[in-house]
Structure 1
Amino acid sequence: MRHPRRGRNLALVVAGVGAIAVLVAVWLTRLNRPGNVEVILGVIGLKVSLVATVLTIVYHVRVVRRYDRLVRGEGVLARWRIEPERWRLCREAADALARSPQALPNELPLPPEIPAAGIEVILAADAFCVGPEFEPLEKSAVVQLNGPVLEIQQRVPQTRHSTRLAVYRLPAAENREADVARLAARFAQRATHSRTLVRKVALVALVGSLGALVWLVMWVMSVAKRG
C-alpha cells in the first residue's frame, strides 16, 4: 500500500459524519415533535459512528503506527539500497518464482524500472517498505532467501474466522546471506504487537459500544414519551 494513513483517515471521516447525524437528530427532536425520521437518523448515525470508530482504532494500531515507527527508523532489522541493474535481476527472478507450479502471486508491486539513484528496502519485525510501498507484517510471517529474492510469507485475515497465505517477494541485497539468516531467526522468535494489545483495543471498543447503546435506548425512550 502506498498510502497507509488513507484508510484510517477515511474511517475517521465516516465516524465524524455519523456523529454529526446523531447530533442533528437530537437537535431536531428538541425543535420539533419527534418522529420516525429523527429516530432513524439517530440510530443509523450512531451505528455508523461506532463501526467507523472501531475501524479507525484498529487501522491506526495495526497499520499507521507501524508505518510511523518504520519511517522514524525504530525497530529496523535491516536496510539496504537496490540499484537499477540489481532491481531488474530481482524482478525477473520474482516473476520466475511466481510462474512456478503451485506458487502464489507476488502481492508486492514491482515496477519494471526504478530511479537511477536506486530504491531503499527497509525491514522491521512488524512491517517493511520497498520504496513507497509499505506492508504490515503479522506474527506468522517467515522469511527465506530464494536467489536474489527475499520472500516473506504470512497468513493475513480474510474473514472474521479465516486467513489466507500471502507472499511478498522483495529484492535482496547482494552478499547478505548472513543478514538473511539473522532475519529468519529474528522472525522466528520475535514478539511484535501482542494479542494483549489487540484485546485491549477490542475491550475499549466494546465498552464504548455498550455505553453508546445504553444512551441510544434512553434517547429513543425519551423520544417515544415526548411523541
Structure 2
Amino acid sequence: MLDSVRARNRSAVVFLISLAVFVPALLIPRSGDDHSVRIMILTFSFAVMLFSAVWLLVRGDEARRLIRLRAGQGILARWTIDAARWEWFRRHSQEWDKQKGLHPNDADFTQIPGDAGIEVVVSRDGILIGADFHPLEIDVRITVRADWMEFNQVIPKPNGPAFRVVLRLPLQPGWEHLAAEVSQAYQRVTDARKSDRRPLIYIALFCFVGLPAVTGLVWLILKVTGWVE
C-alpha cells in the first residue's frame, strides 16, 4: 500500500534532480570534439526526467484526489466496517480470489481494524478504505449485492490487455442503501459528462498549440546552444 502523497513527493524529487542534471548539460557551451560523455549524461537524465514526469502526473492526480477526499469535498458515502464483519468478508474474499476467471480483490484486507473498525469513504473520484486509497473514474462499473459491493475499473492500454482494478468491500448492516446511492451518483456524473465537449477542446489545443510550441522551444534551445546548425 503506497501513499499517493508520498509517491508524488518522491517522483517530484526525482524529476527535479534529473532536470537539474539535464539543463546544465544542455546549456553549457560545447568545447572540444569529444561529446560522448556529455551525450550519455543528456540521454540518461532526459530518460529519467521523462519517466519521472509521467509518474509525477499520475501520482499528482492521485494525491489531489486523496487530498480533496480528506478535506470532505465531493463525499458520496461514508460508513464503518466493524472488526467482525471485516474478518468475515476477508475470508470470503480470499476464497473468491482463488476462483478461476475471477479477478482478485485489489482492496487491502491485510489492514487490522482497530476498536472503531475500518472507515470507508467514497467520493466522486476515489475511495478510501482505511488507509488504502484508490482513484476512481466516472466510467467505473459498480455492482451492488445484498451486503457488499464491487467497483470494477478498466483502464485501456495502447498495447496488451487492459489494466483492471477490482475492489470488493462489505456493507455494514443497516447501511446497504449507501451502495445504491453511490451507484446512482456515478451514473448521474457519467450522463452529465457525455454532453461535455471540453475534453475534446483540450485535446485539440494540446495537438495544435501545445506540441508545436514545445517543439519550437526545444529547437530554439538546441539552436542557441549550438547542437544544431
Same fold (TM over 0.5): yes
Partner letter of residue 6 of structure 1? R
Cα distance in 2 for residues equivalent to 1:58 and 1:205: 19
Give the aligned partner of residue 87 of structure 2: 88
Shifted more, 152-161 versus 12-21: the winner is 152-161
Cα distance in 2 for residues equivalent to 1:12 and 1:208: 24
Structure 1 residues 186 and 166 mapped into 2: Cα distance closer, same or farther (>3 Å)? same
- CA shift at 1:205, angstroms? 6.9
Give the aligned partner of residue 52 of structure 1: 52
How do 1:1-227 residues align onto structure 2 when only pairs under 5 Å count?
A: 1-26=1-26, 28-29=28-29, 32-33=31-32, 35-36=34-35, 37-61=37-61, 63-111=62-110, 113-159=112-158, 163-191=162-190, 196=198, 200=202, 203=206, 206=211, 209-219=214-224, 222-223=226-227
Task: Report percent identity of matched pairs.
Answer: 24
- CA shift at 1:45, angstroms? 3.0
Secondary structure of the residue aligned to 1:2 is coil
Aligned residues of 1:14 and 1:52 also touching (Cα < 8 A): yes
RMSD value, Cα = 3.3
Per-residue Cα deviation, 1:183-202 (whole angstroms, up to 9, x for no partner)? 22122222499884697489
In structure 2, stretches of 5+ residues that fail to align are: none
Structure 1 residues 72 and 19 mapped into 2: Cα distance closer, same or farther (>3 Å)? same
**TM-score with structure 2 setting the length:** 0.78
Shifted more, 166-175 versus 118-127: the winner is 166-175
Aligned residues of 2:148 and 2:170 also touching (Cα < 8 A): yes
Q: Which runs of 4+ in 1 moved over 6 A?
A: 192-195
Structure 1 residues 159 and 11 mapped into 2: Cα distance closer, same or farther (>3 Å)? farther
In structure 1, stretches of 5+ residues that fail to align are: none
Per-residue Cα deviation, 1:37-95 (whole angstroms, up to 9, x for no partner)? 3344335434543443344234323x111111111010010001111112112222323
Partner letter of residue 217 of structure 1? L
Cα distance in 1 for residues equivalent to 2:212 and 2:5: 26
Aligned residues of 2:22 and 2:45 also touching (Cα < 8 A): yes
Cα distance in 1 for residues equivalent to 2:57 and 2:170: 32
How many residues matched?
222
Aligned residues of 1:87 and 1:171 also touching (Cα < 8 A): yes
Aligned residues of 1:70 and 1:124 also touching (Cα < 8 A): yes
Cα distance in 2 for residues equivalent to 1:134 and 1:152: 13
Cα distance in 1 for residues equivalent to 2:80 and 2:68: 19
- CA shift at 1:207, angstroms? 5.8
